[in-house]
Amino acid sequence: MKSASKIRRFKLLTTITSIAIPLVVAVLFKVKIEGLDFSILPPIYATINGITAVFLVLALLAIKRKNRKTHEIIMKFCLALSLVFLALYVAYHMTSDSTPYGGNGIIKYLYYFILISHILLSVIVIPMVLFSYFHAWKGDFVKHKKLTRITWPIWFYVAVTGVIVYMMISPFYK
């Protein structure tokens, strides 16, 4: 069992991180760095989203088979992928203008529905993922399982829709 002081510090760090990530990303979107061309990044971070979705399924299968160690390793890998995604996503948007969607009709509305739900849920899922991890870290698997039943489908949706958004917007990149 973890000591009470370690649990308090980890919970505080989890709370601060849950608030800081969306705020820092929002602030960094206002920063524009000229002279760097990171136009290669969108297909890379879309691929990372796809890989994350696959590994989330593998993690689910591992825990359903009661293979806790494999589940833990895969989930840590998913967290690492998410951090890499976030760094590349911010780097791209700090150096590039947003690409407007050029489609029309019902597909345009579908694109914006998927995009907006993806963005909103990506902000909401951050603390959910971190607190799910926190509960597992401290060994409270009842709370971990309860929160993860909500967190996993949202994280999976965000990962999959990240790929879909990229596929829908990619024809309109310059």
**What confidence tens digit (pLDDT) does each residue in 98-124 have?**
888 998 999 999 999 999 999 999 999
Instruction: Kindly state whether residue 65 falls inside one of the protein's structural domains.
Output: yes
Instruction: Kindly state whether residue 40 falls inside one of the protein's structural domains.
Output: no
**What confidence tens digit (pLDDT) does each residue in 55-74 have?**
999 999 999 999 999 999 99
Q: How many domains does the structure of the chain reveal?
A: 1
Question: Which of these, 172, 35, 24, lies nearest to 87 by C-alpha position?
Answer: 24
Query: Would you state the pLDDT for residue 51?
Result: 98
Instruction: Kindly state whether residue 102 falls inside one of the protein's structural domains.
Output: yes
- Report if pTM > 0.85: yes
Instruction: Kindly state whether residue 94 falls inside one of the protein's structural domains.
Output: yes
CB 144 within 8 A of CB 135: yes
Query: Would you state the pLDDT for residue 27?
Result: 87
Instruction: Kindly state whether residue 66 falls inside one of the protein's structural domains.
Output: yes
Copy the structure tokens of residue 39.
């136009």
For residue 140, the enclosing domain spans: 4-35+45-172
Copy the structure tokens of residue 42.
């969108």
Q: Quote the crossing angle between the two packed helices 105-137 and 141-169, to the nearest 10°.
A: 150
What does pLDDT average to over the chain? 93
Query: Residue 75 and residue 56: Cα distance in Å, rounded?
Result: 7
Instruction: Kindly state whether residue 158 falls inside one of the protein's structural domains.
Output: yes
Query: Residue 78 and residue 54: Cα distance in Å, rounded?
Result: 9
* Domain containing residue 113: CATH number: 1.20.120
Query: Residue 33 and residue 92: Cα distance in Å, rounded?
Result: 10
Query: Would you state the pLDDT for residue 1?
Result: 55
Report the percent of the chain where pLDDT is more than 70: 99
